[in-house]
Amino acid sequence: MFNASLKQLSTQLAEKKISSVELTGEFLKRIKTQNPNYNAFITVNADMSLAQAEAADEMIAAGNASPLTGIPFAQKDIFCAKGWLTTCGSKMLSNFISPYDAGVIERFNQAGAINIGKTNMDEFAMGSSNETSFYGPVRNPWDVAAVPGGSSGGSACAVAARLAPGATGTDTGGSIRQPAALCGISGIKPTYGLVSRYGMIAFASSLDQGGPMAKSSEDLAMMLNVMVGHDQRDSTSLKRESEDYLRDLDQPLAGLCIGLPKEYFTKGMSPDVEKAVEAALEKYRKMGAKTVEVSLPNAPLSIPVYYVLAPAEASSNLSRFDGVRYGYRAKSYSDLDDMYRKTRAKGFGAEVKRRILIGTYVLSHGYYDAYYIQAQKIRRLIAQDFIDAYKQCDIIMGPTAPTVAFDLGAKSSDPIQMYLSDIYTSAASLAGLPSMSIPVGFGEKNRPVGLHIIGNYFTEAHMLNVAHQYQQETDWHLRMPAE
C-alpha cells in the first residue's frame, strides 16, 4: 500500500478494495510512528483528515469520484488551509489558524483528496536544507544524519519515507527540485503562472510557484491535472485551456534531442553525482535520444542575480508581519515602533532577517539602480540563453544539485555555500521555465542523485513523458529507504 502509485490507489478505491477512511487511517498510523524520526510534519489533525475521508467515500459511493478522490496528500505549510495551523515554518505564524483555503488547497478539496497534514519547511521558504525551520530540521529518510534539502524538505521527506503518497511543494529558486533530488523522489516546478499563488504565503512573488512532489512522473501528472488552472484572485495566474498532463506519457523517445549545457558539466559537480547523471544520459541514448552540447553563458550569474531579486521581493512581502493583525506579537513593548522592532526581532529567524536586510539594502536609494535594475537586466539575458538553446534541442538536462545530501549542520555557518546548493536550479526559476528532478541513482554514503530536466514554456506534458519513459526502464523511483 505505502509504495503504491496514485493510479493504483485510485483503482483500489474505485473498486472498493479499500475505503478512503481505511487508507487515510493507515497513513496517519505510519506518520504517528515514523514522523518522530524525521520531523517531516508540523501539524497533523486526524479528526479533520478522517472527516474528509468519510466525505470522499460518500463521493465514491455516489459515483462522483475523480482520480484523486479519497487519496491523502501532505500539504507544505506555506499553503493556507481553512481551520489548519499554517505557520510557514516560522515563530511569526506559530499561532495562525488560517480562515480560508489557498487556491491549491481548494482544488485538492474539490477533487475529493484528503489533507493528511502540513509539512515542515525552511522558514518562509528561505533555505536549501530545511534547517531554518522554527520547528527544527527535517531529517533525510535515506540517512537521518543528512539534510533533506529545502525549502520543501518536509514534503520531500514525507514522500520518500512513504508517509504520504504525494505532497505539494513550492519552488522559488529550486525548492521543489533540490529536495526531490536529495530525497530520491520526483518533483516538478511548472511554468510560472500555471499554479495559483492565492493563499500561498509569499516569499518572492515573481519567482514563487507551487508544484507536486511524488514518487514518479505519472504521479506528478495526476497531481498537476488537479493543481493547474486559472485563478482570478492571483494577478499572475495564466489563462490557458486545460490540458491532460497524462496524455503523452507513453510516447516513444526516438528522435528526442537533449541539450547538455557546458556550464553545468564542470568541476563544481561532485564525481558521484556526475557518474549517476552520465549513466542516466547514456540510458536515454539507448532509448533513442541524442545529446548535443549547448551553452547558457549567463547561467553562472544566476546565483548572484537570484540573491539580489529574491531578497528584494522578500523584504517587501514580509513587511506585513508586524504583530498588529495576526501572528506572533512581542509580549512587552513601550509603543508601536517598539512593538514592531521587538516582534520582528523575536519572530523571525536568522536567515529570514539576513534576506530582509539584503533586500532592503538593494532597494535603498543609491543602490537600486546599481543592484536591483542590473539584476533584472541579467535575468532577461538568462531567459534569452534558454530561448537560444531550444533552437538546438528539445529539452535540457543536467544535475539537479552539485552534491548528494550533505550532513546536518555542515553548511549552516556558511550562507554562501548553502546558497550554491541551488546553482543548477535557479536559472530556470529566473526564466520562469518548467523544470523537474527525477531520481537516477545513488552517490556517496548511498544518498540519492537527481537528474534535472528543463523544458521550454508550457511543455510540462512532454517533460513528464521524457521522465516517465526513463522510469519505465529503471526502478530508482521505486526504491524505499530502510526504516
pLDDT in tens, the chain (483 residues): 899 999 999 999 999 999 999 999 999 999 999 999 999 999 999 999 999 999 999 999 999 999 999 999 999 999 999 999 999 999 999 999 999 999 999 999 999 999 999 999 999 999 999 999 999 999 999 999 999 999 999 999 999 999 999 999 999 999 999 999 999 999 999 999 999 999 999 999 999 999 999 999 999 999 999 999 999 999 999 999 999 999 999 999 999 999 999 999 988 899 999 999 999 999 999 999 999 999 999 999 999 999 999 999 999 999 999 999 999 999 999 999 999 999 999 999 999 999 999 999 999 988 999 999 999 999 999 999 999 999 999 999 999 999 999 999 999 889 889 998 999 999 999 999 999 999 999 999 999 999 999 999 999 999 999 999 999 999 999 999 998
The reported pLDDT for the residue numbered 460 is 98
**239's torsion region: left (phi>0), alpha (psi -120 to 50) or beta?**
beta
The reported pLDDT for the residue numbered 268 is 82
Q: State how far the Cα of 133 lies from the Cα of 90, in Å rounded to an integer.
A: 6
Query: How many other CB atoms sit within 10 Å of the CB of residue 31?
Result: 24
The reported pLDDT for the residue numbered 263 is 95
- In the numeric block, the cell 522592532 is attached to 341
Residues assigned a catalytic role: 76, 151, 175
Position 328, amino acid: Y
The reported pLDDT for the residue numbered 413 is 87
pTM of the model: 0.97
C-alpha separations of 290 from 256, 287, 430, 462 in Å:
6, 9, 27, 16
Q: State how far the Cα of 74 lies from the Cα of 321, in Å rounded to an integer.
A: 26
The reported pLDDT for the residue numbered 138 is 98
Q: State how far the Cα of 339 lies from the Cα of 337, in Å rounded to an integer.
A: 5
End-to-end CA distance of the chain: 16
Domain 6-249, CATH 3.90.1300.10 — does that match? yes
Q: State how far the Cα of 92 lies from the Cα of 88, in Å rounded to an integer.
A: 9
The reported pLDDT for the residue numbered 1 is 84
324 grid coordinates: 498588529
309 grid coordinates: 531579486
C-alpha separations of 250 from 81, 244, 247, 462, 463 in Å:
35, 13, 8, 10, 12
How many Cα neighbours within 13 Å face the side chain of 313? 20
The reported pLDDT for the residue numbered 416 is 87
